[in-house]
Protein backbone atom coordinates (compact mmCIF):
# COMPACT_ATOMS: atom_id res chain seq x y z
CA UNK A 1 0.00 0.00 0.00
CA UNK A 2 3.02 2.23 -0.41
CA UNK A 3 2.79 5.06 -2.94
CA UNK A 4 6.03 5.88 -4.76
CA UNK A 5 7.08 8.92 -6.76
CA UNK A 6 10.33 10.66 -7.67
CA UNK A 7 11.71 14.15 -7.25
CA UNK A 8 14.85 15.60 -8.76
CA UNK A 9 17.01 17.72 -6.48
CA UNK A 10 16.99 21.03 -8.28
CA UNK A 11 19.04 24.20 -8.03
CA UNK A 12 16.15 25.86 -6.18
CA UNK A 13 16.36 23.24 -3.41
CA UNK A 14 20.06 23.66 -2.63
CA UNK A 15 21.80 25.96 -0.20
CA UNK A 16 25.26 27.54 -0.20
CA UNK A 17 26.62 24.25 1.18
CA UNK A 18 25.43 22.60 -2.08
CA UNK A 19 22.94 20.31 -0.34
CA UNK A 20 19.17 20.40 0.01
CA UNK A 21 18.06 23.18 2.38
CA UNK A 22 15.75 21.31 4.73
CA UNK A 23 12.66 23.56 4.35
CA UNK A 24 12.70 22.58 0.66
CA UNK A 25 12.35 18.93 1.68
CA UNK A 26 9.02 19.89 3.26
CA UNK A 27 7.89 21.36 -0.05
CA UNK A 28 8.81 18.03 -1.68
CA UNK A 29 7.06 16.04 1.07
CA UNK A 30 3.95 18.17 0.69
CA UNK A 31 3.98 17.64 -3.07
CA UNK A 32 4.21 13.87 -2.51
CA UNK A 33 1.18 14.02 -0.18
CA UNK A 34 -0.55 16.12 -2.85
CA UNK A 35 0.13 13.49 -5.52
CA UNK A 36 -1.05 10.72 -3.19
CA UNK A 37 -4.35 12.53 -2.55
CA UNK A 38 -4.84 13.03 -6.30
CA UNK A 39 -3.78 9.58 -7.48
CA UNK A 40 -4.66 7.22 -4.61
CA UNK A 41 -7.31 9.01 -2.52
CA UNK A 42 -8.86 10.34 -5.73
CA UNK A 43 -9.41 13.81 -4.29
CA UNK A 44 -7.03 16.34 -5.78
CA UNK A 45 -6.09 19.43 -3.78
CA UNK A 46 -8.03 21.75 -6.07
CA UNK A 47 -11.21 19.74 -5.49
CA UNK A 48 -10.49 19.53 -1.76
CA UNK A 49 -9.53 23.14 -1.14
CA UNK A 50 -11.21 25.25 -3.77
CA UNK A 51 -14.35 23.33 -4.67
CA UNK A 52 -15.17 21.72 -1.31
CA UNK A 53 -13.86 24.33 1.11
CA UNK A 54 -11.95 21.72 3.07
CA UNK A 55 -8.28 21.26 3.83
CA UNK A 56 -5.76 18.81 5.22
CA UNK A 57 -3.41 20.91 7.36
CA UNK A 58 -0.43 19.23 8.96
CA UNK A 59 -0.87 19.16 12.74
CA UNK A 60 2.54 17.72 13.52
CA UNK A 61 5.56 16.44 11.64
CA UNK A 62 8.67 14.71 12.88
CA UNK A 63 11.56 14.30 10.49
CA UNK A 64 15.01 12.77 10.60
CA UNK A 65 17.54 13.64 7.90
CA UNK A 66 19.84 10.64 7.61
CA UNK A 67 22.21 11.94 4.94
CA UNK A 68 22.40 15.03 2.74
CA UNK A 69 21.08 15.14 -0.84
CA UNK A 70 22.93 16.91 -3.60
CA UNK A 71 22.09 18.88 -6.74
CA UNK A 72 20.97 16.64 -9.59
CA UNK A 73 20.19 13.54 -7.55
CA UNK A 74 16.85 11.85 -8.13
CA UNK A 75 15.14 10.84 -4.90
CA UNK A 76 12.48 8.16 -4.59
CA UNK A 77 9.79 9.19 -2.15
CA UNK A 78 7.59 6.53 -0.52
CA UNK A 79 4.36 7.35 1.31
CA UNK A 80 2.64 4.87 3.60
CA UNK A 81 -0.46 5.52 5.73
CA UNK A 82 0.27 4.49 9.31
CA UNK A 83 -3.04 5.06 11.11
CA UNK A 84 -6.44 6.60 10.49
CA UNK A 85 -8.45 8.48 13.10
CA UNK A 86 -11.98 9.82 12.79
CA UNK A 87 -10.70 13.21 11.53
CA UNK A 88 -6.95 12.59 11.26
CA UNK A 89 -4.44 10.53 9.34
CA UNK A 90 -0.90 9.56 10.19
CA UNK A 91 1.50 9.15 7.28
CA UNK A 92 5.12 8.09 6.88
CA UNK A 93 7.15 9.53 4.02
CA UNK A 94 10.66 8.32 3.32
CA UNK A 95 13.12 9.39 0.61
CA UNK A 96 15.84 7.22 -0.84
CA UNK A 97 18.62 7.56 -3.32
CA UNK A 98 19.23 4.01 -4.38
CA UNK A 99 19.55 2.05 -1.16
CA UNK A 100 20.50 5.04 0.94
CA UNK A 101 17.72 6.53 3.03
CA UNK A 102 17.88 10.30 3.13
CA UNK A 103 14.91 11.13 5.34
CA UNK A 104 12.06 9.67 7.38
CA UNK A 105 9.10 11.92 8.10
CA UNK A 106 6.04 11.02 10.15
CA UNK A 107 3.19 13.49 10.03
CA UNK A 108 -0.38 13.81 11.21
CA UNK A 109 -2.88 15.51 8.93
CA UNK A 110 -6.32 16.66 9.98
CA UNK A 111 -9.33 16.99 7.71
CA UNK A 112 -10.89 20.40 8.36
CA UNK A 113 -13.58 22.76 7.23
CA UNK A 114 -11.62 25.76 5.98
CA UNK A 115 -14.18 28.39 6.98
CA UNK A 116 -14.41 27.32 10.63
CA UNK A 117 -11.09 25.50 10.97
CA UNK A 118 -12.99 22.65 12.67
CA UNK A 119 -12.04 19.00 12.15
CA UNK A 120 -14.43 16.95 10.02
CA UNK A 121 -14.84 13.17 9.86
CA UNK A 122 -13.19 11.74 6.76
CA UNK A 123 -15.82 10.99 4.10
CA UNK A 124 -15.99 7.27 3.27
CA UNK A 125 -15.02 8.12 -0.31
CA UNK A 126 -11.65 9.21 1.05
CA UNK A 127 -11.25 6.91 4.02
CA UNK A 128 -11.56 3.72 1.99
CA UNK A 129 -8.32 4.66 0.19
CA UNK A 130 -6.37 4.96 3.47
CA UNK A 131 -5.80 1.21 3.50
CA UNK A 132 -3.11 0.22 5.98
CA UNK A 133 -0.37 -2.27 5.26
CA UNK A 134 -1.98 -4.86 7.49
CA UNK A 135 -5.15 -4.85 5.43
Q: How far apart are CA 20 and CA 83, in angstroms?
A: 29
40 lines the binding site for its own copies (CB under 8 A): no
15 lines the binding site for its own copies (CB under 8 A): yes
23 lines the binding site for its own copies (CB under 8 A): yes
Q: How far apart are CA 110 and CA 102, in angstroms?
A: 26
46 lines the binding site for its own copies (CB under 8 A): yes
Residues that bind its own copies (CB under 8 A): 10-12, 14-19, 21-24, 26-27, 30-31, 34, 38, 44-47, 49-50, 55, 57-65, 68, 70-72, 114, 117
Amino acid sequence: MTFTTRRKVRFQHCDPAGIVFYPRYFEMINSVVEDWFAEVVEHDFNRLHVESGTGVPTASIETRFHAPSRLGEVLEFRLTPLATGRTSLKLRVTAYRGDERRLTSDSTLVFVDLASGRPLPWPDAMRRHFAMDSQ
